[in-house]
Amino acid sequence: MEGKAGLVTGAGSGIGRGSALAFAREGAKVMVSDKNEDSGKETVWLIEEAGGTAAFFRCDVSNEDDVKALVDATVAEFGRLDFAHKNAGITAKVAPIAESDSADFDRVIQTNLYGTYYSMKHEVRAMLKTGGGAIVNTSSGAGLEGVQNMIDYVASKFGINGMTKTAALEYSRHGIRVNAICPGLTATPDVENWFAAAPEQAKAITATLPSGKLATPNDVGNAAVFLCSDLAGQINGVTLPIDGGFSVGKFQG
């Protein structure tokens, strides 16, 4: 990734931070974006402390004007947009469909699905001006199979996978590749706090994973870097599970 520049949204913590750090380790210049300015700037500090190059731009991906401004700021800062990892996303309270909240549904769709649409729309426009690039969208294992009590989140992630494949078809001849990553349960701060508070539940969940362990933000970030690198030049329109084999089938350990 030496000499390349791009952006990562939701980069203030978890998978987004892992991705931003991974891109920087491979020599890329990274525009770190997050709604939380303090956590986003902390990611920039971590990159710079390790000898990398980064800047921060606050962005709410549910707002198209914010997304356009982020892309414009990245090009202004680094001169081009070679890669983009749209990672920012949210969940809502867990509930079966009959008990779900329509306002929550709208909020999740606006951030996750519309946020991905806005991101690709403006990222592609920037990449067309410089002859191509690579986009990675964070989907989920919940975008590959149904998950009970998460109708809003599942709908948003299935939608991301469909939009990813559509954009890949539309812009492949223009040198732009678009892929999605579908992480399983990942050791983000929120998940680690959950597991610490419920150790027996954590043990039971971990036992269902063929690998016997959660993915780390670094694992997911490395996959994003690979898909945006020249090594993945013929990989386009995929929805890549990063789940230690969980989505392959039932594990009978």
Identify whether 171 is a catalytic site residue: no
The CA–CA distances, whole Å, from 248 to 75, 114, 190, 236 equal 40, 29, 25, 21
The pLDDT of 101-122, averaged and rounded, is 98
Residue 251 pLDDT: 57
Q: What is 148-174 written as a DSSP string? A: TTBHHHHHHHHHHHHHHHHHHHHHGGG
Catalytic residue, candidates 114, 117, 118, 153: 153
| Phi and psi at residue 23, to the nearest 5° | -60, -45
Residue 209 pLDDT: 85
Average pLDDT, the chain: 95
Confidence band for 84, pLDDT divided at 50, 70 and 90: very high
**Helix (H, G, I), strand (E, B), or coil: what is residue 1?**
coil
Residue 188 pLDDT: 84
Radius of gyration of the chain (CA): 17
- The answer to whether residues 81 and 71 touch, using CB atoms and an 8 Å cutoff, is yes
Domains and CATH numbers, the chain: 5-248 (3.40.50.720)
The whole model's pTM is what?
Answer: 0.94
Burial (0-12, 13-18, 19+ Cβ within 10 Å), 191: middle
d(CA 246, CA 253): 12
Burial (0-12, 13-18, 19+ Cβ within 10 Å), 229: middle
